Chain A
């Protein structure tokens, strides 16, 4: 199944999600509001996307952009699911109920970006030591142990 067939399939099944669908860099992308993220993800799962391959986030300044990579083994197609969470109190609904693969990946996003996942059963740090202070992949992360690379290199 290619992207256009996926778009037709999605618009036929869920017309309300259709205007949110776009093609970015050749991949299907569904940009939703974060409060509707769980429902949209549930719709996509019932559409056939049975695999959550990746959960990550991007620091967009005022917002963090949550990025979920979904794959359908049956339709042999993948797509992205994105939503913007505010920076001052970043939290969103956990997708652990839909795809158990989100368990550790959301812990990683929590660890490195500080985004909290409501409904996550075991939300604690996974990559860094548990007593670490701060979230290093934020653009404004400060750590006095970091040695800045000199400009001439």
Chain B
């Protein structure tokens, strides 16, 4: 039973009641109902994302899903669109600017696996899970709005299973196989070079 239901039943019996729960349940309840989403739109799926949940009559606010343009205010990054090798460092930097805990939704075939750019392409990353820990994948080119909303519900269920223990989620060490040795990594640049 969710903690919110116990709060309701406790209030029915008058003031001064005590609700016993675990911290995990309390935090998971709060986090799962407050997914502030950063729309990381890079290609045509971004248009579908805009039409799917944050800005339209589907009223995602009732789920606590609120679009945030600033990664420092966001919990969930929805990566929507093709990730090119030039965009990859920017996506990593934006992900690193998000405060923990944070989750990633990969929306669309290009973001899941490279999609139609899987073969014969020199400039496209084959899936955002090559460098980010993805929680929910949405197939489709582009996905239906129902699929995007279902992904948010799936992510809510996943958040409810998590523990608030020491967070082991982190960006995988990224090594790009490439012809140039200087392209071996996309580590963040030196502090003095941040533009």
B180 near A133 with CB under 8 A, answer yes
A147 near B120 with CB under 8 A, answer yes
A129 near B86 with CB under 8 A, answer yes
B175 surroundings in chain A (CB, below 8 A): none
B118 surroundings in chain A (CB, below 8 A): 147
How far is it, in angstroms, between the C-alpha of A149 and the C-alpha of B123 when the chains are bound?
Answer: 15
Within residues 54 to 89 of chain B, which ones have a CB less than 8 A from any CB in chain A?
A: 85-86
**Given A127-B86, A128-B86, A131-B183, does the pair A145, B177 have CB atoms closer than 8 Å?**
yes
A146 near B121 with CB under 8 A, answer yes
B122 near A145 with CB under 8 A, answer yes
Interface of A (DSSP majority class) = loop
A125 to chain B, nearest CB (A): 9
Count residues of A near B (Cβ-Cβ below 8 Å): 18
Partner of A144, one of B119, B120, B177, B182: B177
**Given A146-B122, A147-B120, does the pair A133, B85 have CB atoms closer than 8 Å?**
no
How far is it, in angstroms, between the C-alpha of A107 and the C-alpha of B178 when the chains are bound?
Answer: 23
B87 to chain A, nearest CB (A): 10
A134 at the interface (CB under 8 A from B): yes
B123 near A128 with CB under 8 A, answer yes
Nearest A residue to B86, CB-CB: A129
B8 at the interface (CB under 8 A from A): no
A152 at the interface (CB under 8 A from B): no
How far is it, in angstroms, between the C-alpha of A69 and the C-alpha of B184 when the chains are bound?
Answer: 39
Nearest A residue to B88, CB-CB: A129
B165 at the interface (CB under 8 A from A): no
Contact bitstring A112-151, B, C-beta under 8 A = 1, else 0: 0000000000000001110111101000010111111110
How far is it, in angstroms, between the C-alpha of A131 and the C-alpha of B189 when the chains are bound?
Answer: 14
B155 to chain A, nearest CB (A): 30
Give B contacts to A, CB under 8 Å: 85-86, 118-123, 177-180, 182-183
5 contacting pairs across A/B (C-beta < 8 A) = A128-B85, A129-B85, A132-B183, A133-B178, A133-B180
